[in-house]
Amino acid sequence: MGASRIRKNDIVIVKQGKDKGKTGKVLVVLPEKGKAIVERVNFVKEFIKADRSKNKQGGIMDKEAALPLSRLMLYCSDCQAGVRPRAKILEDGSKVRVCPKCENTLEVQK
């Protein structure tokens, strides 16, 4: 699997599937599987078995499941759409990802 355009803490939009159109923050990127886990997107039911020795109650829990990276696009807040980022080299020599439509940087401020 090649290098991914999507990194942890990026804001992405889902472009296909049951959650099409939803946006969220990337929690984890799994490059070896080509997948990512996005906050508040692609919920699945997890069945938890009760464990009396640990005093843990059983039940059904919702959790986020991994989505293929091919279903995600970086989200530009100015354009209000998913974009394919372009690389731009700044004067100080650092490389940033920019939106090709509005030239807005897509890097997350720390």
When pLDDT is cut at 50, 70 and 90, the band that residue 108 belongs to is confident
- Quote the radius of gyration of the chain (alpha carbons, Å): 18
Number of domains in the chain: 1
In a domain, 93, yes or no: no
In a domain, 2, yes or no: no
Tens digits of residue pLDDT in 2-40? 677 899 999 999 999 999 999 999 999 999 999 999 999
Which of 77, 86, 105, 66 minimizes the C-alpha distance to 12?
77
In a domain, 15, yes or no: yes
In a domain, 22, yes or no: yes
Give the structural domain span for 65.
11-78
Mean pLDDT of the chain: 92
| C-beta separation of 38 from 55 below 8 A | no
Q: What is the pTM of this model?
A: 0.86
In a domain, 105, yes or no: no
In a domain, 106, yes or no: no
Report pLDDT for 4.
78
61: CATH: 2.30.30.30
Side chain identity, residue 51 = D
| C-beta separation of 63 from 46 below 8 A | yes
Which of 106, 36, 22, 32 minimizes the C-alpha distance to 70?
36
